[in-house]
Amino acid sequence: MEAVELQPVPLAAPRIPEEPVEPPTSRFLFVDIAALRAKQLRRGALPRLDLATMPLTRGESAHKPERVAMEEVRRGLVPYIAPEAHEPPAEETT
């Protein structure tokens, strides 16, 4: 049997928006976007910011995915599409 030489697969750089997007104005939307991004980070996505510029909080030995995700959203590094507001139907007068 021949020995097969494995070569490492290069990691693709994360897609960072050319211009930072505006952070969400709604706290609920901010948390929703950050939670989805944290899930991506936990599954192996590369951070979109330099972790050396992000200070550790007291008692942390490494950057938590949730903190990294919140910082990415705050800096406008995570693109998102905000859902349109639903307007209640106008009442008909007869």
What structural domains does the chain harbor?
A: 21-52+62-79 (3.90.940)
Q: What is the pTM of this model?
A: 0.68
Q: Which residues contact 76 (CB under 8 A, 6 or more apart)?
A: 17, 20, 21, 22, 23
> pLDDT tens across 34-86, in order?
999 999 999 999 898 888 877 777 776 678 899 999 999 999 999 888 777 77
User: DSSP character for 26?
Assistant: S
Nearest to 35 by CA among 75, 72, 61: 72
74: left (phi over 0), alpha (psi -120 to 50) or beta: alpha
pLDDT for the residue numbered 58: 74
